[in-house]
Homo-oligomer: A and B are copies of this chain.
């Protein structure tokens, strides 16, 4: 077994056929008729020689790399706070594997770098691309789309007509706030997950306002603060809100990580949750059920998000017309104890 790698020529020779036939058989080309006996001989020869077709040669000849790119555009801090990445990765690689595709990963700190990821496409290293956390100031993105290169966003970009997969942030936030309203709260604060120029943040903000307005409650800007992905931002924002002369009785924090900081701030003031301050989060991170108290939050289907993004992209790559090019996944409110709706100990 120390000899050179076998190529399709070797397989052909051993099976007593031409290289063309080997290619037909191993790739299962349907438009060609070959008797079972020949097929068997070729497969057997391939097995015997431990033959694996060379990816580069195959890619060069076919013009397809069978690889999709996954670009993480979040800056370092925000990426580290993204506790769902493992699940999203599983979703996308699982789907890719079903179609015999691979996933190439790239992290991009600065989208406006001259060549953050564009060359991946230009060098034909990938057949399509999923952009996670797209930024509106991303030039390369526009170029790729304009050239007709298959692109799917994971996360929305307002004003751009690009296929995307996201959760229904508006509906999720609305449901969370409606729940608090249903529990009798009239003054409900908001700490966003991120600055409002992020689409997801804006959408959750919208959901918050819709819920208020649906219930005939006035929106009070004094009760709103902008979070910034990390725990500390929630801690600081919450301290500000707690210092208000007329503080809210409940708060919707549009990110569990940010909410985690907010919880610490509330406890620090000696206030009880939910009696003195009810809290609802967003994301349903793994730790939520074990927080103090267990956090009521909006569940986000992370695996599904990755899976659907991969699915949509692979449809585009195959040139099929997908059912929809804009996928909004549903969220689900998970009621635990931080909102005050239950008194049970554990969920």
Judge if A182 is at the interface, Cβ distance under 8 Å: no
Q: Which of B50, B286, B346 contacts A80 (CB 8 A)?
A: B286
Given contacts A89-B107, A287-B287, contact A125 B76 (CB under 8 A): no
Please, which residues of chain B bring their CB within 8 A of the CB of A102? Answer: 104, 106, 120, 125
The residue among A56, A59, A93 with the most chain B CB atoms within 10 A of its own CB is A56
Contact B107 A104 (CB under 8 A): no
Contact A60 B67 (CB under 8 A): no
Given contacts A56-B65, A60-B54, A79-B90, contact A231 B123 (CB under 8 A): no
CA–CA, A82 and B82, complex, Å: 11
CA–CA, A56 and B89, complex, Å: 25
Please, which residues of chain B bring their CB within 8 A of the CB of A125? Answer: 55-56, 102
Q: Closest CB-CB distance, A27 to chain B, in whole Å?
A: 14
Q: Which of B81, B86, B103, B261 contacts A82 (CB 8 A)?
A: B86
Please, which residues of chain B bring their CB within 8 A of the CB of A291? Answer: 264
Q: A103-B104, A235-B290, A263-B290 are in contact. List 19 more A-B contacts (CB 8 A).
A: A52-B122, A55-B124, A55-B125, A56-B125, A72-B89, A80-B86, A80-B90, A85-B89, A89-B105, A94-B107, A102-B106, A102-B120, A103-B105, A104-B104, A231-B290, A257-B287, A260-B287, A263-B292, A264-B292
Please, which residues of chain B bring their CB within 8 A of the CB of A105? Answer: 70, 89, 93, 103-105
Could you mark each residue 65-108 of chain A with 1 if its beta carbon is under 8 Å from any beta carbon of chain B, else 0?
A: 10100101000100111110111011001100000001111110
CA–CA, A86 and B77, complex, Å: 10
Judge if A44 is at the interface, Cβ distance under 8 Å: no
Q: Smallest CB-CB separation from A54: which chain B residue?
A: B124
Judge if A240 is at the interface, Cβ distance under 8 Å: no
Please, which residues of chain B bring their CB within 8 A of the CB of A287? Answer: 231, 257, 260, 287
23 A-B interface contacts by CB (under 8 A): A54-B124, A70-B105, A72-B89, A76-B90, A80-B86, A80-B87, A80-B286, A81-B286, A82-B86, A85-B89, A89-B105, A89-B107, A94-B107, A102-B104, A103-B106, A104-B105, A230-B286, A231-B287, A231-B289, A260-B290, A263-B292, A268-B345, A268-B346
Q: Closest CB-CB distance, A320 to chain B, in whole Å?
A: 24
The residue among A67, A81, A286 with the most chain B CB atoms within 10 A of its own CB is A286
Contact B82 A119 (CB under 8 A): no
Q: Closest CB-CB distance, A135 to chain B, in whole Å?
A: 17
The residue among A54, A55, A230, A231 with the most chain B CB atoms within 10 A of its own CB is A55
Please, which residues of chain B bring their CB within 8 A of the CB of A289? Answer: 231
Could you mark each residue 156-180 of chain A with 1 if its beta carbon is under 8 Å from any beta carbon of chain B, else 0?
A: 0000000000000000000000000
Q: Closest CB-CB distance, A315 to chain B, in whole Å?
A: 21
Judge if A267 is at the interface, Cβ distance under 8 Å: yes
CA–CA, A104 and B106, complex, Å: 9
Contact B52 A123 (CB under 8 A): yes
Q: Closest CB-CB distance, A49 to chain B, in whole Å?
A: 12
- Sorted nearest first, the 9 A-B pairs with minimum C-beta distance are A56-B59, A52-B122, A56-B60, A55-B125, A55-B123, A264-B290, A105-B105, A292-B292, A93-B107
